[in-house]
């Protein structure tokens, strides 16, 4: 039997405009769906580079088409001692509502593109909190490079990328401007 956390009486709602779907889709709620932390012994002298494997794990459209649930997750593998590796598997679930019924293909596209951007901060925060409570100094999950991610998703799902539209790279700021802004 699966149990769900109580639904807040006033769930946060964020309007999500999407080029593929007419009308707003709103995030109804987001919560931690899955977490697993394992510590493993490795042979002395073994070097394990940090690994990150993020992605959309599942999605399901509501029977009436007016909502969907998407699960995004990440697995982080990190060597925190000379003879120990930690593997953190974490996923968050987002429930979305739509002002109109969504076709199955629309729901799939939304889950693969927009839901990733919306749920990533929740996943990033969950990983940080769990890592902090584990006593292991896991690296923080990166922020999303939206342009690169959109291009990669579009290539994977076979969607042509129009010129001059979102997902196109923007010229980066000169190195001096980037570094001087981060100094106190």
Domain ranges of the chain: 15-145+153-181
Instruction: Give the pLDDT confidence score for residue 47 in this predicted structure.
Output: 87
The C-alpha angle with vertex 129 and arms to 128 and 130, in degrees rounded to 5, equals 95
**Model confidence pLDDT, tens digit, residues 13-28:** 444 444 555 568 899 9
Strand boundaries in the chain, DSSP class E: 15-16, 25-41, 51-61, 67-81, 84-98
Domain 15-145+153-181, CATH number (from 3.40.1180.10, 3.10.420.10, 3.40.50.150, 3.40.50.300): 3.10.420.10
Whether the pLDDT of residue 58 is over 70: the answer is yes
| Separation of alpha carbons 15 and 169, rounded Å | 25
Instruction: Please report, rounded to a whole number, the percentage of residues in the chain having pLDDT higher than 90.
Output: 44
**Model confidence pLDDT, tens digit, residues 131-170:** 999 998 888 888 877 677 667 767 776 666 555 544 443 4
Whether the pLDDT of residue 81 is over 70: the answer is yes
Whether the pLDDT of residue 102 is over 70: the answer is yes
Edge-first strand listing for the sheet containing 25-41 = 15-16, 25-41, 84-98, 67-81, 51-61
pTM: 0.69
């Amino acid at each position: 039997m699966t149990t769900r956390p109580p639904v807040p009486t006033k769930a946060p709602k964020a309007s999500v405009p999407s080029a593929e779907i007419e009308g707003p889709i709103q995030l109804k709620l987001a919560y931690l769906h899955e977490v697993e932390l394992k510590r493993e012994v490795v042979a002395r002298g073994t070097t394990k580079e940090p690994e990150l494997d993020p992605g959309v794990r599942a999605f399901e459209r509501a029977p009436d088409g007016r909502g969907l649930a998407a699960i995004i997750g990440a697995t982080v593998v990190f060597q925190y001692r000379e003879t120990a590796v930690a593997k953190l598997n974490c996923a968050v679930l987002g429930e979305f509502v739509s002002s109109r019924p969504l076709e199955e293909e629309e729901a799939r596209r939304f889950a693969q593109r927009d839901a990733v951007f919306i749920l990533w901060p929740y996943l990033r925060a969950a990983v940080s909190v769990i890592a902090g409570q584990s006593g292991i100094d896991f690296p923080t999950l990166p922020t999303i490079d939206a342009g690169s991610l959109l291009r990669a998703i579009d290539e994977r799902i076979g969607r042509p990328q129009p010129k001059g539209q979102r997902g196109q790279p923007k010229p980066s700021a000169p190195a001096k401007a980037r570094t001087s802004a981060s100094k106190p």
